[in-house]
Amino acid sequence: MSKPHFVFTKYSNSISVHVKNLEQLSVAQIQSIEAFVSARKGIFDFSTYIFTIQKRLEFGEFISLLQNSSLDATCEEKIINIRQRERVEFGKYKGMLYCDLPDSYLLWLKSNYMGKDRDIVEAELKFRSI
């Protein structure tokens, strides 16, 4: 049986984790990942194999969380360079840079927002591979 393989990416206000081998995992392993994400008030997007947790974590802290849970997984860290400088002009995160938004909020915008900055939201999601 395969172990889950996570690719950890840190952003300013959240983290995202891509499950590289989700299709090779058992139902029980996927349920364990879901429980891990849910316990941390995260979101698992099965269409992209990515879960997000709206918390500032370093890679080492994430590894400690995994070790203290029932998940047995391998992890790697993905380092990114932030590039966008557009600011949010509405709502809860007004004034923040789009590149600093939590993945969970970007995913919410993807499903619910149809305003003039929709292309910025799409570009940020594409940049993060979400």
Angle subtended by helix axes 103-112 and 118-127, to nearest 10: 140
The model carries a pTM of 0.64
pLDDT (tens digit per residue) in 60-81: 999 999 999 888 999 999 887 6
pLDDT of residue 83: 58
Buried b (16+ CB within 10 A) or exposed e, 80-116: eeeeeeeebeeeebeebebbbbbbbbbbebeeeeeee
One pLDDT digit (tens) per residue for the chain, 130 residues = 789 999 998 876 778 999 999 999 999 999 999 999 999 988 999 888 999 987 778 899 999 999 998 889 999 998 876 555 788 998 888 988 888 889 889 999 999 988 888 888 988 888 888 8
Q: Where are the domains of the chain?
A: 5-78
- CA count, 13 A, side-chain hemisphere, 36: 22
pLDDT of residue 44: 93
Sign (positive or negative) of CA dihedral 26, 63, 106, 127 = negative
Measured distance CA(1)–CA(4) in Å, rounded: 10
pLDDT of residue 130: 82
pLDDT of residue 26: 93
Tell me how crowded residue 19 is: count the other CB atoms within 10 A of its CB: 22
